[in-house]
Amino acid sequence: MTEPLDAVDIAIVGAGPVGMTLALALAGGPFRVLLIDSRQRGAWASDPRALALSYGTRQLLESLGAWNVNAGTAIETIHVSQRGGFGRTFIDAADYGIPALGYVLRYRDLAASLDASIEASQRLNDHEVIAIRLGSEAAEITLKGGGGDTRRISARLVVHAEGIPANDAGIRVFDYCQHAVVAEVRPRAAHARQAWERFTPDGPLALLPLGQDYALVFCVPPAQASRLLQLDEEHFLAALRTSFGGRVDFVSSGPRASFPLALRVRQQLSTPRQVWIGNAAQSLHPVSGQGFNLGLRDAWELAEMLRTRASRDAGQRAILAAYARRRRIDRSGSMAFTDGLVRVFSNDLAPLRAARGLSLLALDLLPPLRHFVARRMIWGARAWP
């Protein structure tokens, strides 16, 4: 059975943190907003993933009333080094007059904070988008509910906020030939709110403080990832100790999982009546933790553009084109930064190894250069706010 056509100004497809952030940022404005998700409300409650949020992202969430100060573990310092070579640098939040460089928290905790602030009338769960028909004045979205019913929504603007379909012709993909092995590991000594970024010939390795543990992200070739998943706890921890060169010791680890890594970039951020944000627009390598923060900045800037420049028609071509132009610096800068780190630091050629050491040494000895890198990690290419 197909229900009558409903009309909204903005339909946000994907009720993950990026989609919910956009809905919150638009709340109280002139637009009728509907947040659509194929999952049941609260499906994120069992999601064990850890997220690294920059201090700039905390500021953004605080402005929306969605920051839970007790949910995350602060990162006050970051130690950066490479295995098998000289050079290291140390980034300290105190140098920037802020309480933390970033925070590590569970996906479910962030989702809960955002979800609690969104009105029931703004959401439609358990409905999957099965078709979008674009018109000159609006887009018509056909949805299929969990019970098999269909529903149609008319929207001036469709915002895609979650996921990149595997067969999407508008996506450029670069496969890093790496998998990220993730787990929670307990250090022998307290982490003192320090994160570690360790570059190895196989790929970057990060330890992010989370409660009493570290959230581990170990990027390695696919075959090595399979081996790491099959190791017993003792040999897995031994492999970590080897990669860290004795800087950190571990006493236990939790369940492990892995996922493939690639740079996926949507080449056109907007088309008539549609715009893409978050990981629907780009998916980055996890090195330096830029991707998720970039997606939240997408949501914030789109909301800002719509609030300040749009009339009642949120899908105006000029507004969407202006949004795409405005995001170009931050987006291309974040992609180039993370992609460059992976390509340069995941290579064991002797000249590159020496160049990496000199780069890390320069970061340590030249505060302006170190501050530039740190501010990019905290606030993005535009150093928001």
Listed in sequence order, the residues at least 6 apart from 384 whose beta carbon sits closer than 8 Å to its beta carbon are: 56, 59, 60, 297, 300
Q: Select from 197, 224, 249 the least CA-distant residue to 83.
A: 197
pLDDT at 55: 95
pLDDT at 203: 86
User: Mean pLDDT for each 10-residue chunk of the chain (385 residues)?
Assistant: 74 97 94 95 88 95 89 93 74 94 95 88 91 95 92 97 83 94 96 93 92 96 97 96 87 96 95 96 92 96 91 90 95 90 69 61 68 82 54
Q: Select from 74, 365, 372 the least CA-distant residue to 195.
A: 74
Q: pTM for the full model? A: 0.92
Report the distance separating Cα 287 and Cα 296, nearest Å.
17
Report the distance separating Cα 75 and Cα 201, nearest Å.
25
Instruction: Name the residue with tokens 């939240």.
Output: 296
Q: Select from 27, 1, 279, 18 the least CA-distant residue to 9.
A: 27
Structure tokens at 248: 């950190």
The amino acid at residue 257 is: A
What domains does the chain contain, in order, with CATH numbers? 6-65+108-170+263-339 (3.50.50.60), 74-102+176-262 (3.30.9.10)
Q: Select from 298, 264, 269, 257 the least CA-distant residue to 284.
A: 264
Backbone angles phi, psi at 131, to 5 degrees: -165, 145
CA distances to 19, 73, 298, 332 from 266, rounded to whole Å, are: 17, 32, 13, 12
